Amino acid sequence: MRTDVLGVGFDNVTLDEAVGRALEIMDEGRSAYVVTPNPEIVQMCRKAAAVKDAVAGAALVLPDGIGVIYGAKILKRPLKERVAGTDFAEKLMERMSKTGKSVFFLGAKPGVAELAAKKLASKYPGLVIAGTADGYFTDDGYAADIINAANPDFLIVGLGAPKQQESWMASMRDKLRVGLMGGFGGSIDVWAGTVQRAPLGWQKAGFEWLYRLIKEPRRIKRQIKLPLFLLAVIGQRIGRK
């Protein structure tokens, strides 16, 4: 049973458990997908049924964002830990490198996915790079052809708005032949080094959002929604009593 936070069901797993499950699902080779919703995506699910259905259809729903962890705590059904998409995908690639599995990077600006692939391949020798493509394509069928020709064990999808990676994976699933795929937003930029994550201390203290806000003040428009998310969670708790 998934843990419900504002209508989105989360799998209550640690990072290691999530990676273990992902490896099993990957071997089934049914193009299943992983999502890592943060509060912003949860709010989107409440407004857009297509996004909600896409998230519910995932084989693994991992809690990214400290807001989801707080939300679950407020609802008195705490989740084991925050599983950030970037950490999950990287740990999975580390494990994949031990058995020579392959990964395809789809997303970010032209050239960034190649850079990310190069850096990860040298960090984890044994990891096979099946291919890369930027995230500004207009023809989904063409993108699917390139991915299917590369036949990766793992497809990393890093698409921002307007594509909406969760809905994209749900709608493309039947057209793709991959072991497993997952939506990881701006992670490709992080691996490429074009965007820096917060230092570990900030991440552990639950302040990654603050670090990002300081680095990119224009995010205030998005982060201002976090208190609204927590208010909605409090509403869910009161409504349940």
The residue from 172, 186, 209, 229 that contacts ligand UDP (CB under 6 A) is 186
Report how far apart the first and last C-alpha atoms of the chain are (Å, whole number).
21
Residue 126 vs 142, nearer CB to ligand UDP: 142
Sheet (strand 102-107) strand order: 60-61, 32-35, 180-183, 154-158, 102-107, 128-133
37 binds ligand UDP per the rule CB under 6 A: no
135 binds ligand UDP per the rule CB under 6 A: yes
Site for ligand UDP in 149-178 (CB under 6 A): 158-161, 163
Spatial neighbors of 7 by CB under 8 A, at least 6 apart, are 42, 45, 46, 52
The secondary structure of 114-150 as a DSSP string is: HHHHHHHHHHSTT-EEEEEE-S--S-HHHHHHHHHHH
108 binds ligand UDP per the rule CB under 6 A: yes
Residue 136 vs 142, nearer CB to ligand UDP: 136
Q: By Cβ distance, which residue is nearest to ligand UDP? A: 135
185 binds ligand UDP per the rule CB under 6 A: yes
Q: Which residues make up the interface to ligand UDP (CB under 6 A)?
A: 107-109, 135-136, 158-161, 163, 185-186, 188-189
